[in-house]
Amino acid sequence: MIVVGGGMVGASLALKVAMSGVRVALIEKRPPAEFEPSSPCGLRVSALNRSSESLLDTVGAWPELMAMRSHCYRRLSVWQQGGSRTDFDASEVGEAHLGYLVENDLIQRALWNALEQSNVALYTPDSVVELAQESSACHLKLESGAVLQGALVVAADGADSKMRSLAGIGVTGWDYQQHALVVVVKLQQTAPDITWQSYVESGPRAFLPLAEEQASLVWYHYPHEVKRLRSMAPLKLEEAVREAFPDDLPEFEILNQSSFPLKRQHANHYVSGRVVLVGDAAHVINPMAGQGVNLGFQDVIALSEQLAAVQPDDWPQAAQAYERKRRGANLLMMSTMDGLYATFGSDKMPLRILRSVGLWAANRATPLKASALRYAMGLPLI
């Protein structure tokens, strides 16, 4: 099997499949940098749920990750500014924690530390220039001149997937007409064990505590407003953040900041012959609930299980079974996030009342609240 793309999803899939004794080659254009303990936290952060934690542990990356830096969170708070608030706590479902907030670069680095100790053949830095498919195999020509053959090629090369294009798979989607301003800050206290999102008409605002008294503040806003905020001097931006975020925000100073546009994208199908899509190559979700990488890891679990159940000659059929299982689930999550985004993003009075009633009810409907919490953690519903 050949995996194209050595990010979080591609690297974890390569490790998971290789554990079953399958020969795996991994192609990656830009391998991750080594971890530098003195560096500030990265700008792109994931909220790993318990299911993702289990996968990373299975493939041997979790101890590597814990040896670097991460932040365990036990509580989650959701509220609309000036209105109702719902608080979730891991203890409500008998768990020690909800998940971990970790920099994406470190997740990838931990996976590569595990890859370098595995029997996965690494082609890096390298990239695919040609794809040819036959009934029994795929052939890839690489920029280095190498030619690889595999019974299955997995495209894990991101939202702008070249492999998806070479396989002739189209996408549908749209731009949300909003950008996310991401600010890494140094806190003047130990980072708390709570992450929260508040909602206003212009978009959500999130507080994500990180390791070493740092945190990531995510501010969703209209593109011209994000551009204006990014043009501010650091002290002026600090003032703007303090005014925009709830009073719960700890005292801080800005270390770094960036922004990126928000978009939704879904592949028209996940399989073309012996090419199969996973992660962002298959789906890009609104990042509001931090489910992007967790969905990608669910792809890894589902595809690796389907492949392990059959012989390589039957992998195209296993890939089709994977698509049936995951495409509907991913579409449901994408639509759910869009519905929440539309509901919480409106300041119209009927929806404000609906949000307030919904958050009030969630605080009191214990079984419903527990089910929602277990689902967000990636745990089975009971």
Contact indicator for 64, 110 with CB cutoff of 8 Å: yes
The pLDDT tens digits of the residues spanning 194-244 come to: 998 888 878 889 999 999 999 999 999 999 999 999 999 989 999 999 998
- How many angstroms separate the CA atoms of 53 and 58, rounded? 9
Picking from 39, 262, 306, 271, the residue whose alpha carbon sits closest to that of residue 138 is 271
The pLDDT tens digits of the residues spanning 54-103 come to: 999 999 999 999 999 999 999 988 877 666 778 889 888 888 999 999 99
H helices within 93-168, ranges in order?
Answer: 104-115, 162-166
Strand partners, 71: 101
Contact indicator for 11, 158 with CB cutoff of 8 Å: no
Q: Which amino acid is at 18?
A: A
- How many angstroms separate the CA atoms of 26 and 59, rounded? 15
Dig out the tokens for 362 from the structure: 């969630």
176-261: CATH homologous superfamily? D-Amino Acid Oxidase, subunit A, domain 2 (3.30.9.10)
pLDDT of residue 356: 44
CA 342 to chain centre: 21
> How many CA atoms lie within 13 Å of 319's alpha carbon, on the beta-carbon side?
21
Residues of the chain where predicted confidence (pLDDT) is lower than 70: 81-83, 288-291, 338-382
pLDDT of residue 377: 67
The residue whose two tokens read 């996310």 is: 180
Domain ranges of the chain: 2-70+100-173+264-344, 176-261
- How many angstroms separate the CA atoms of 63 and 110, rounded? 8
Strand partners, 73: 99
**CATH code that applies to domain 2-70+100-173+264-344:** 3.50.50.60
pTM: 0.91
Residues present in the chain in total: 382
Q: Where is 351: in which H helix or E strand?
A: helix 349-364
The pLDDT tens digits of the residues spanning 186-199 come to: 999 999 999 988 88
